[in-house]
Structure 1
Amino acid sequence: MPKSKMLSRAEIAKMSPEKVQELMEARISDIGRETEKHAKLASDIGDIGLDVDIAGMRLSDIQAHQEAMQASICELVVGLDVSVNAIDGHITSLQQATVGEKLVGYFSKATANDMREKRIRGANLRTNLNNLLAKSDRIAAILKEQLNTISGQQDVISQSLQSVSEEREQVIEEMTGLTSELDRLTADISQLQEKITAETDLKVRSKLETEYRELVGQFEQKKTREQELLAASNTLEKHAKNYEIYRSSLNDQAGAQRTLITVLEKDTVARINQWDALVESMKTAAIQESAHAIREVGAAVDRKAIQIVASVAAASQDRLGDMLNSHHSTLAFQAKVEEERETARDEFENLLSDLLEKHQAGRS
């Protein structure tokens, strides 16, 4: 539905008092529709969730969800400011004499003032201001619902981190035992090689070679298992780091959420008292500087909006810094793992080469 057309003073001057009153009522309806639009936006914000796929979701994805929610809430706060300004304009128009009041004023200034005061007393400003307070309460309710969701995700992430850490400890423990077994097998294989080399009896040497092959087979199986455990340990460590990043991000989000809730709740309590006093002042002192009082309300909303936007930006930068730091740590870890893997491979190839040379020497 289109908004009421904004008319110039000259056009308003040509209208009858009834037409001017109708125009004012249309402007109030515009304000109501604007408020309902922000209420719909608030409902949309409530539908935004953090459905985290622990294994497949990237940190940037969950960051995007949060940024979308924060941006929508900021837009809603700014929208409330627009509504306040619209009401401010409506109140300003109420303080100006209508065409009918101006005409009466030519004959009786007192009668014109009485007409204007009666019109101001009949204006339903309290309903519009209460509407804005209801929207602020709705924003706070949405933030609390989302805070509960974030808290639930924090529990899931923390439990998953603990589970992965415990599983990796078990893997490392098995790897430690396996390393000892490999060292023992290496020593046994080396001793057998020496015996085979020194043995001149063909039958005994054949038996030693059979034992040698069995030990080599055991060594290869355990070496393969060691590779599996190493891969598992690396994977678990990677997921542990990811869980730490998720947990840190969710903690930051929850902190920002609680801050916004506190600010909005305190704003609402303050505005109930302030706006009640404003309405009563308009009714009892219509000639006083009510327009200045409303501008102060708008300035208060501006200050709160700036505080909220600044806190969102600061929290976003903090989380971005955490993400960048963790990324460098991941790169350093990957480089270390790659270096260790290459070293292990070289050692294995050298060992295999030695074994082959000794094996060939034994056959010659």
Structure 2
Amino acid sequence: MADFDAQVRESQAQVAEAQTKISELTSRIETARQKMAAGTDATVDIENATLDDVHAHTEMMNANIAELIMGLDDVTSGFSRDFAEMREKTGWESFVGIFSQAKSDSMRQERMRTASVDDKLQDLISKSDIIVRLLEGQLAVLNEQKVKVEGNLTETLDEREFTVGELEALRAEILAMDPKLIELENRISVEQDAAARTRLETELADLNKAYNDMVQQEQVKLAKSQTLERYIEKGKTWVDSLQNQAATQMVLINKLQTDTKQRVVLYDALTKSLKTAQQQDVAHRINEIGVQTDQEAQTAMAQIGSATNARMADMLEAHEDHMVFARKVLEQKAKADERFARRFAGIVEKHDKNLYGA
């Protein structure tokens, strides 16, 4: 429990740090957007919006949570062993059996009847819930940031489309001026009248000035378009990253929730199996000793007979629904495990081969 609590605290710290880094990166992208809207240089902000640090930390965080989940799987796999041990007689029960087999069986039956088999299940469900809440909090942050970035991205895509339209229109005007400039230059070259030549040269100078202004505007529009393009690429990459991170969180949440269903089904099946086996064992013992059984055994037999009849009716009524539900949960479990294994192949391998620290 202490190890689990320490690992959860570590995961909580990692999630908090990851959320800070995610928010900072989104904020940097938003700042770049504001600078572009104000007409100031946003190149530095865009280029500094690196995902490497965020990805590295997120991978470490998810690996830690994946190990937590696999730890719960290990505990679950020990359920059957725990139940098998509960079926075995304790040392004291075996000792009493030397003198009275019926008393020994009765003691075991009472221990089984009063055993708190739900404690471990509730503990595991509680631990699963802690991790699920952690993951759901992270998922909410990822979706929130994704909405923000997508909003900025939509505005920027519209702005770039408008800017590219302006740039193309400007280039068309520049191209249309070329024939005019050539025509004026040709007319000047053959003009003999000084006054007319002067007017043509003035007209050419004005046209050249307009041409140069347009070329300068083209460069400005081109630079703006390139800046917007870089911003859009960064934004798209960040949205893609957020979507991928969100998908990972959903895989983890799905596995935990499916595991919890599976644990409930497993515990229920094992508990019924254990109780039934114990009742059958005692019933056989009572049958063997027949009329020589003591009052305690007679009482136990009556209780078992009544309980068995009632239980049998319940089991016959619920069996079909239970089996359909159990089969469905097992199918969900297999799918959740497969998705989990694909996402965390390295962690699964380390866990299965005990390669920690290697």
Query: What letter matches 2:119 in structure 1?
Result: T
- The answer to whether 1:310 aligns with 2:302 is no
**Counterpart position of 1:43:** 12
- The answer to whether 1:275 aligns with 2:267 is yes
Q: Which runs of 5+ in 2 are unaligned?
A: 30-45, 282-329, 346-358
**Counterpart position of 2:215:** 223
Alpha-carbon distance, 1:81 to partner: 2.1
Asked if the contact 1:158–1:247 (Cα under 8 Å) also holds between the matched residues in 2, the reply is: yes
After TM superposition, the structure 1 = structure 2 runs for residues 215-254 of structure 1, keeping only pairs within 5 Å, are 215-254=207-246
Alpha-carbon distance, 1:116 to partner: 4.0
**Counterpart position of 1:167:** 159
After TM superposition, the structure 1 = structure 2 runs for residues 129-144 of structure 1, keeping only pairs within 5 Å, are 129-144=121-136
Alpha-carbon distance, 1:283 to partner: 5.6
Alpha-carbon distance, 1:134 to partner: 1.4
Asked if the contact 1:154–1:250 (Cα under 8 Å) also holds between the matched residues in 2, the reply is: yes
Asked if the contact 1:39–1:135 (Cα under 8 Å) also holds between the matched residues in 2, the reply is: no
TM-score (normalised: structure 1): 0.61
Alpha-carbon distance, 1:114 to partner: 3.8
Secondary structure at the counterpart of residue 124 of structure 1: coil
Mark the CA change 1:263 to 1:87 in structure 2 (over 3 Å): closer, same or farther.
Answer: closer
Mark the CA change 1:33 to 1:105 in structure 2 (over 3 Å): closer, same or farther.
Answer: farther
Asked if the contact 1:150–1:250 (Cα under 8 Å) also holds between the matched residues in 2, the reply is: yes
Give percent identity, aligned residues only: 31
Supply the RMSD in Å over aligned alpha carbons.
3.7
> Residue deviations 1:16-66, cap 9 Å, x none?
xxxxxxxxxxxxxxxx43443454355346534233333333344444354
In structure 2, distance between residues paired with 1:46 and 1:288:
51
Mark the CA change 1:201 to 1:59 in structure 2 (over 3 Å): closer, same or farther.
Answer: same
Is the deviation greater in 181-190 or in 61-70?
61-70
Q: How many aligned residue pairs are there?
A: 275
After TM superposition, the structure 1 = structure 2 runs for residues 100-249 of structure 1, keeping only pairs within 5 Å, are 100-249=92-241
In structure 1, distance between residues paired with 2:176 and 2:49:
43
Q: Which runs of 5+ in 1 are unaligned?
A: 1-31, 290-299, 315-364
Asked if the contact 2:181–2:207 (Cα under 8 Å) also holds between the matched residues in 1, the reply is: yes
> Residue deviations 1:313-364, cap 9 Å, x none?
59xxxxxxxxxxxxxxxxxxxxxxxxxxxxxxxxxxxxxxxxxxxxxxxxxx
Query: What letter matches 2:340 in structure 1?
Result: V
Mark the CA change 1:222 to 1:304 in structure 2 (over 3 Å): closer, same or farther.
Answer: closer
Asked if the contact 2:146–2:242 (Cα under 8 Å) also holds between the matched residues in 1, the reply is: yes
In structure 2, distance between residues paired with 1:189 and 1:156:
49
Alpha-carbon distance, 1:77 to partner: 1.0
Asked if the contact 1:102–1:112 (Cα under 8 Å) also holds between the matched residues in 2, the reply is: yes
Alpha-carbon distance, 1:145 to partner: 2.4
